[in-house]
Amino acid sequence: MTPPSTLGYPTRSMNRRDFLKGAALTGLAATFKLHAGVSLMSQATNAAAGGATGCDLVAVMGGAPGVMFGNAIAEMGGLGRFVKKGQKVCIKPNIGWDRTPELAGNTNPELVAEIVRQCFQAGAAEVTVFDHCCDQWRNCYRNSGIEAAAKAAGATVVPGHEETYYREIALPRGVSLKSAKVHSAILDCDAWINVPILKNHGGAQMTIAMKNLMGIVWDRGTFHRNDLQQCIADICTLDKAPCLNVVDAYRVLKANGPRGRSEADVVTAKALFLSPDIVAVDTAATKFFGQLATMPLENVKHIAHAERLRLGTMDLNRLNVKKINL
């Protein structure tokens, strides 16, 4: 298998000027605006929210996946803010498809490996990585590069292809989805990190942080048989919510998602979004995606549904946002 660090990239890329133009992220425009004599690396806009660490959401542009995460989590106060010494941590990337990293169907393996490493540096006792794959799971784990990268960083990689791995939980706050069988790796961990890839989705319009939770449940068919957009919001009401959401936008599948057909569907954007607020991070990532392909935010209805369930905010002007250009 080709090591993640040597994987080839598509030739089409988004340069920094394009990113800054696109980084309006409609609602983040004031945060990202440059002023004479002010370094973009240090600039932030302070709004209504924000704790001692100063940031509610970080957007990074221009580096390798692991480097972008390192810069982003540093702005959040370090991963120790979310992962404590001795904890069992679960990392949930998108490993749903039998696709290589160049095709942007799954989370970037370099990013997953770096998060695993930093979990151990923060004092995690163990780190588990899994997904409930759509394609044959062994092929997905292998060809995505995630299994090898996660194991090399010290994680335990577990499967999600059998119903016995899942336990029924109630979702009393759900509107359409009132219960679901959730993987024991999520239910038994002390903290978990949601690590989706940003991409187009034929049914849900976008698959980002909220949609990635469909990979923690056994019966995804329930979502599709009912109101898909509402069910995506409903699963996010589970008590064991992710402590952090890390959106991989290094390569973005801009068409024919969620699987993609070829590298022609992929743009190398070299971006990353990070926030504990799952609604805010999906809002920011969707607006960014709108600079690469047509995608009105109102079309991604599960985001607004989640805001109504009080799972986070779509009003990015209320948040303390940091933009970093590497």
Domain layout of the chain by residue ranges = 17-29+54-325
Residue 71 · residue 60 · CB < 8 Å: yes
Q: What fold, for 17-29+54-325?
A: Rossmann fold (3.40.50)
Burial of residue 239 (CB within 10 Å: 0-12, 13-18, 19+) is: exposed
pTM (2 decimals)?
0.85
Residue 277 falls in which region: left (phi positive, over 0), alpha (psi -120 to 50) or beta: beta
- Rounded-to-integer distance, Cα 46 and Cα 143, Å: 42
Q: Residue 255 in 3-state DSSP?
A: coil
Bridge partners of 92? 194
Two tokens, residue 148: 């090898």
User: pLDDT tens string for the chain (326 positions)?
Assistant: 333 332 222 333 444 444 434 444 434 443 333 222 222 222 232 222 333 457 999 999 999 999 999 999 999 999 999 999 999 999 999 999 999 999 999 999 999 999 999 999 999 999 999 999 999 999 999 999 999 999 999 999 999 999 999 999 999 999 999 999 999 999 999 999 999 999 988 888 899 999 999 999 999 889 989 999 999 999 999 999 999 999 999 999 998 888 888 999 999 999 999 999 999 999 999 999 999 988 889 999 999 999 999 999 999 999 999 999 99
Two tokens, residue 247: 């959106």
Residue 140 falls in which region: left (phi positive, over 0), alpha (psi -120 to 50) or beta: alpha
Residue 230 · residue 179 · CB < 8 Å: no
Two tokens, residue 321: 């946002």
Two tokens, residue 6: 């040597």
Q: Where are the beta strands (DSSP E) in 62-125?
A: 88-93
Give the contacts of 184 (CB within 8 A, at least 6 positions apart): 165, 166, 167
Two tokens, residue 49: 């929210």
In degrees, rounded to 5, the angle at the alpha carbon of residue 131 between the alpha carbons of residues 102 and 124 is 100
Count Cα atoms within 13 angstroms, Cβ side, for 187. Answer: 13
Q: Where are the beta strands (DSSP E) in the chain?
A: 44-45, 57-61, 88-93, 126-129, 156-157, 166-170, 179-183, 191-195, 197-201, 205-207, 244-253, 266-275, 321-325
Residue 118 · residue 70 · CB < 8 Å: yes
| Cβ-based neighbour number of residue 70 at 10 Å | 17
Phi, psi dihedrals of residue 294, rounded to the nearest 5°: -65, 125
